[in-house]
Amino acid sequence: MSSEITVNVCMGTGGIAAGGVQVMKAFERELEEAGVTGARLEKHCKLHKVGCRGFCARDVLVDITAGGASTTYQYVEERMVKRLVQEHIVEGRPVEEWLVGEDYHTFHDHQEKIILADLGKIDPESIDDYLAVGGYEATKKALATMSPAQVIETIKDAGLRGRGGAGFLTGVKWGFCAVCADEQKYIVCNADEGDPGAFMDRSVIEGNPHAVIEGMIIGAYAIGADTGYIYIRAEYPLAVERLKTAIAQAEQKGYLGKNICDSDFGFTLKIKLGAGAFVCGEETALIASIEGDRGMPRAKPPFPANKGLWGKPTIINNVETLATVAPIINKGPQWFASIGTETSKGTKVIALTGKIRNTGLIEIPMGMTLKEIIYDIGGGIEGDRLFKAVQTGGPSGGCIPQQYIDLPVDYEGLHSVGSMMGSGGMVVLDETDCMVSITKFFLQFTKEESCGKCVPCRIGTKRLLEILTRITEGKGEKKDLELLQTLAEDVRDSSLCGLGMSAPNPVISTLKYFRHEYEAHINEKKCPAGVCNALLTFFIRSDNCVGCGMCRRACPVDAVSGEKKKVHDIDQGLCIRCGACFDACKFSAVLKE
Amino acid sequence: MEKEVQEKLESIYRRTIARGDNIITVLQQIQNEFGYVREDAIDWFAKRADIPAAKFYGVVTFYSQFHLSPRGKNIVTVCSGTVCHVKGAPRIIDRLRGDLKLKGEAQTTADMLFTVENVNCVGACSIAPVVIVNDKVYGKQSPDKMAKNLKSYKD
């Protein structure tokens, strides 16, 4: 039996927000106070910082491994640490009441982890941890035993497709660049994760930065690049820090720099901070941004693989794509191609969020159905409300209704119902979500993020938003639906880049599957989900009202009246339908209809 | 321009343009130093580096990270990602702006104590809705909870 004790504290952004730093400090303090690190107990207690393991909703998660058995605690707070150390570590009795429940295991058991396999197990700030789980073995193997062409063939045979959205075959893309005769080439990691509701790239970098770096080294070797850039959002400070640390460690150990692993191949890696523009996720816009300009896309071809950064052949890959490269080199293309569906191989990391019980980061084999994802892994809809739709692909994707719940999730499957894989965000919506309002939200986003270079996107998204706003305010007319449809199709067909081409997707998919909600807004001037305030009437239910006066004080226009401890009333003539009274009431006495 | 400011700008120049860095990096450093992108700093750099000031303004106005006016002592960032949106971020923004008496397009309070802004997504969707005050992340917020949390910054 091993006498070694390991305490793992989840310290991703989710973990830190839930108090991970305080828990970590408490463990340091309590372990020392209990004398665990001393010779008395003859135990060695290691404190690790581990990255996200996916189940952020239960943070802070702590694993205590003692005597070879690992135990996981959920919702750990600073004040609980003293008892954990005393009872579990000193006395050897796990604290039953704080352990994770059955759902923690079902959440993980249905997944298949390649990219996330080591997240939550290794310390992202330690290259030794990465090396201990086979890190940089693929680099050694590729450089010592494979030619660049063989590396490309391997990635092609594996059938790996770009995980950033478009799903283009990575090996084929590398091949385009490899045949360019230019001496100077670049490889760029696109970590400008701009989709609202997506955090896979941040989590992968925070949890296992070396995996991304290793993918870049192998990619650079394959295409013949000597310089790489990681373009990452400035809003991800922790990920940036961990990348800097990882790059410095890799340089020190000789995995970056000249003559990597005693070969002739040399590669340097730099970080470029994005300055907050969604459109920079588009390849040509990203290139403009690295060059220091406004991040505006240009027409393709020429494709960046032929003419990219500073006019040189450039390969741009997404974080997850790059993190998949080393496992493919290590285990072989057949292994990877055996997972997934006919056209979509391997696994996909998904940020599963919204009105669902178990939110978090998951990894599934391609082809798993929406139903399995939402009910088996996600644990079903929060509060037992009714499922309405699942939104995939962020602002560029669509909303998928109940009738397609058995749809297998892969590139083609999602595309066939008018949505897309995108970067892998999945937001579950329930009966209390208004589809017109959600669509308006996405158009608000794309309108603001449109770079303004091409007319269809710049003006089209603005007009689409105006129509949607009109509808949610009860000013919609019957002809608006047809106008929305044709305008959305025009914007899709005539925009310059992916942002404009996909911006109308939310409109087109909700018009197709949730037309009745639009019609209710327009014809009956009602919002069936009770979201669009302008279409609601707020009133007070007399048997629930205790006369506390909270709603009266919250009302900005003094429309609520009533004496203390007596039933209050809302003057419908004065009411501006802001919903402040509804938020303020603690007794469910304010109703909306 | 004060001598002290000029020295700071010269130091930024040596760290950036002189080493081949681009103007996005320059602007990020100016903003780190002064809290916002000062117009006189752009003028100074335009002359020093012989780059048209319009080029700087083009970049500043393109990226949401840059600010052309001074910001408050406390930066309150409300996440407006999809999940935060459906879980009530708009109501939090309304409440905070109301409490801080921010009217119209204004983002910063008259006493320069608070700036309220939103961010597309911070990727912490599992603890939505999320509000970040300076560097502290508040998860699972409601208008009431956040209004209370903000009080501690008022002293």
Same domain for A416 and A462, yes or no, is no
Put simply, whether A294 touches B (Cβ < 8 Å) is yes
Cβ <8 Å between A277 and B125: no
Q: A58: distance to nearest CA of chain B, Å?
A: 9
Nearest to A218 by CA among A325, A346, A337, A321: A325
Band (A148; pLDDT cuts 50, 70, 90): very high
Residues in A touching B139 (Cβ below 8 Å) = 14, 17-18
Please give the residue of chain A at the shortest CA–CA distance from B21.
Answer: A292
Among residues A523, A547, A565, the one where a domain terminates is A523
Q: A153: distance to nearest CA of chain B, Å?
A: 35
pLDDT mean over B33-47: 95
CATH assignment of the domain containing A159: 3.40.50.11540
Q: A297: distance to nearest CA of chain B, Å?
A: 13
With 70 as the cut, is the pLDDT of residue A53 above it?
no
Question: Residue A198 domain-assigned?
Answer: yes
Which residues form the domain of A73? 4-100
Residues of chain A with pLDDT > 90, as a percent, come to 72
A156 or A50, greater pLDDT: A156
Cβ <8 Å between A391 and B82: yes
User: What would the pLDDT profile of A567-581 be if each residue is shown by its tens digit?
Assistant: 999 999 999 888 889
Among residues A477, A498, A523, the one where a domain terminates is A523
With 90 as the cut, is the pLDDT of residue A48 above it?
no
Same domain for A225 and A312, yes or no, is yes
With 60 as the cut, is the pLDDT of residue A529 above it?
yes
CATH assignment of the domain containing A75: 3.40.30.10
Same domain for A254 and A367, yes or no, is no
How far apart CA A432 and CA A528 sit, in angstroms, is: 8
Q: Are strands B131-133 and B114-119 parallel, antiparallel or unpaired?
A: unpaired
Put simply, whether B45 touches A (Cβ < 8 Å) is no
Put simply, whether A327 touches B (Cβ < 8 Å) is no
With 90 as the cut, is the pLDDT of residue B136 above it?
no
User: What would the pLDDT profile of A103-145 be if each residue is shown by its tens digit?
Assistant: 888 888 899 999 999 887 888 999 999 999 999 999 999 999 9
Q: B7: distance to nearest CA of chain A, Å?
A: 24
Q: A157: distance to nearest CA of chain B, Å?
A: 33
Nearest to A316 by CA among A339, A289, A342, A292: A289
How far apart CA B25 and CA A403 sit, in angstroms, is: 49
- Sign of CA pseudo-dihedral A76, A82, A86, A89: positive
**Which residues 342-361 of A have a C-beta within 8 angstroms of B?**
351, 353-355, 359-360
Cβ <8 Å between A289 and B24: yes
With 70 as the cut, is the pLDDT of residue A251 above it?
yes
Question: Residue A339 domain-assigned?
Answer: no
Q: What is the pLDDT of residue A259?
A: 96
Chosen for mutation from B56, B84, B86 (greatest number of chain A CBs closer than 10 Å) is B86
The DSSP call for residue A387 is: E
How far apart CA B146 and CA B89 sit, in angstroms, is: 11
Alpha helix (H) residue ranges in A92-208 = 102-109, 127-132, 137-145, 148-158, 170-178, 200-207
User: What would the pLDDT profile of B85-94 be if each residue is shown by its tens digit?
Assistant: 988 899 899 8
Beta-bridge partner residues of A5: A45, A66
**Which residues 547-576 of A have a C-beta within 8 angstroms of B?**
556
Place of tokens 């925009």: A495
pLDDT mean over A372-381: 94
The DSSP call for residue B111 is: T
Same domain for A371 and A321, yes or no, is no
In the Cβ-directed half-sphere of A97, how many Cα atoms lie within 13 Å?
A: 3
Strand order in the sheet with B114-119: B114-119, B74-79, B131-133, B136-138
- Sign of CA pseudo-dihedral A373, A328, A238, A164: negative
Q: What is the pLDDT of residue B23?
A: 93
Residues in A touching B133 (Cβ below 8 Å) = none
Same domain for A553 and A512, yes or no, is no
Using alpha carbons only, give the angle A402, A404, A408 rounded to the nearest 5 degrees: 135
Question: Residue A586 domain-assigned?
Answer: yes
CB atoms within 10 A of CB A374: 22
Chosen for mutation from B25, B62, B142 (greatest number of chain A CBs closer than 10 Å) is B62
Same domain for A310 and A409, yes or no, is no
Band (A43; pLDDT cuts 50, 70, 90): very low
Q: What is the pLDDT of residue A463?
A: 98
End-to-end CA distance of chain B: 33
The answer to whether the beta carbons of residues A359 and A390 sit under 8 Å apart is no
Put simply, whether B24 touches A (Cβ < 8 Å) is yes
DSSP secondary structure, A389-446, as one string: EEEESGGGSEEEEGGGTT-B-SHHHHHHTT---TTSEEEEEETTS-HHHHHHHHHHHH
User: What would the pLDDT profile of A504-515 be if each residue is shown by its tens digit?
Assistant: 999 999 999 999
Same domain for A442 and A421, yes or no, is no
Same domain for A365 and A418, yes or no, is yes
Residues in A touching B97 (Cβ below 8 Å) = none
Residues in B touching A196 (Cβ below 8 Å) = 80-83, 85, 120-121
Beta-bridge partner residues of A230: A189, A271
Question: Residue A499 domain-assigned?
Answer: yes
Q: B143: distance to nearest CA of chain A, Å?
A: 8
ipTM of the complex: 0.90
Question: Residue A584 domain-assigned?
Answer: yes
Q: Give the number of A-B residue pairs with CB atoms closer than 8 Å.
A: 129
Determine the distance from the C-alpha atom of residue B82 to the mean position of all C-alpha atoms in its chain, rounded to a whole number.
21
Cβ <8 Å between A13 and B94: no
Q: What is the pLDDT of residue A44?
A: 38
How far lies B16's CA from each of A336, A349, A386, B24, B45, in Å?
44, 37, 55, 10, 11
How long is chain B?
Answer: 155
Same domain for A317 and A199, yes or no, is yes
Name the amino acid, one letter, at B18. Answer: A
Put simply, whether A196 touches B (Cβ < 8 Å) is yes
Cβ <8 Å between A275 and B63: yes
Beta-bridge partner residues of B47: none
Place of tokens 């037309």: A515
Nearest to A126 by CA among A250, A7, A258: A250
Q: List Cβ<8 Å contacts ≥24 apart for A510-514.
A: A510/A398, A510/A399, A510/A435, A510/A436, A510/A438, A510/A439, A511/A481, A511/A484, A511/A485, A512/A418, A513/A389, A513/A399, A513/A400, A513/A401, A514/A389, A514/A399, A514/A401, A514/A435, A514/A436
Nearest to A339 by CA among A161, A174, A148: A161
Question: Residue A338 domain-assigned?
Answer: no
Band (A400; pLDDT cuts 50, 70, 90): very high
Cβ <8 Å between B22 and A291: yes
A150 or B142, greater pLDDT: A150
Put simply, whether B125 touches A (Cβ < 8 Å) is yes
CATH assignment of the domain containing A353: 3.10.20.600
Same domain for A269 and A140, yes or no, is yes
Same domain for A372 and A244, yes or no, is no
Cβ <8 Å between A429 and B86: yes
Residues in A touching B91 (Cβ below 8 Å) = 579, 583
Band (A208; pLDDT cuts 50, 70, 90): very high
The chain-wide mean pLDDT, for chain B, equals 92
Homologous superfamily of the B74-151 domain (CATH): Glutaredoxin (3.40.30.10)
- Sign of CA pseudo-dihedral A223, A119, A134, A154: negative
Q: With 0-12 CB in 10 A as exposed, 13-18 as middle and 19+ as buried, what is A460?
A: buried
pTM for this predicted structure = 0.90
Cβ <8 Å between A427 and B83: yes
Place of tokens 């305010």: A473
Which of A421-425, A481-485, A565-569 is predicted with the least confidence, judged by mean pLDDT? A421-425
Cβ <8 Å between A353 and B126: yes
State how many domains chain A has. Answer: 5
Band (A52; pLDDT cuts 50, 70, 90): low
Please give the residue of chain B at the shortest CA–CA distance from A272.
Answer: B25
Give the one of B59, B124, B143 whose C-beta lies nearest to A294's C-beta: B59
The chain-wide mean pLDDT, for chain A, equals 91
Longest CA span, chain B: 51
Which of A454-463, A467-476, A577-586, B63-72 is predicted with the least confidence, judged by mean pLDDT? A577-586
Determine the distance from the C-alpha atom of residue A427 to the mean position of all C-alpha atoms in its chain, rounded to a whole number.
10
Cβ <8 Å between B82 and A427: yes
How far apart CA B31 and CA B36 sit, in angstroms, is: 4
Q: A152: distance to nearest CA of chain B, Å?
A: 33
The answer to whether the beta carbons of residues A388 and A429 sit under 8 Å apart is yes
Cβ <8 Å between A292 and B127: no
How far lies A210's CA from each of A131, A217, A318, A402, B89, in Å?
9, 10, 15, 40, 35
Band (B19; pLDDT cuts 50, 70, 90): very high
Chosen for mutation from A353, A356, A585 (greatest number of chain B CBs closer than 10 Å) is A353
Same domain for A291 and A419, yes or no, is no
pLDDT mean over B46-50: 95
Put simply, whether B122 touches A (Cβ < 8 Å) is yes
The DSSP call for residue B19 is: G
Beta strands in A443-589 (DSSP E): 538-540, 560-561, 569-570
How far apart CA A149 and CA A475 sit, in angstroms, is: 61
R_g over Cα of chain B: 18
Q: With 0-12 CB in 10 A as exposed, 13-18 as middle and 19+ as buried, what is A277?
A: buried
pLDDT mean over A551-576: 92
Chosen for mutation from B17, B65, B120 (greatest number of chain A CBs closer than 10 Å) is B120
Put simply, whether B25 touches A (Cβ < 8 Å) is yes
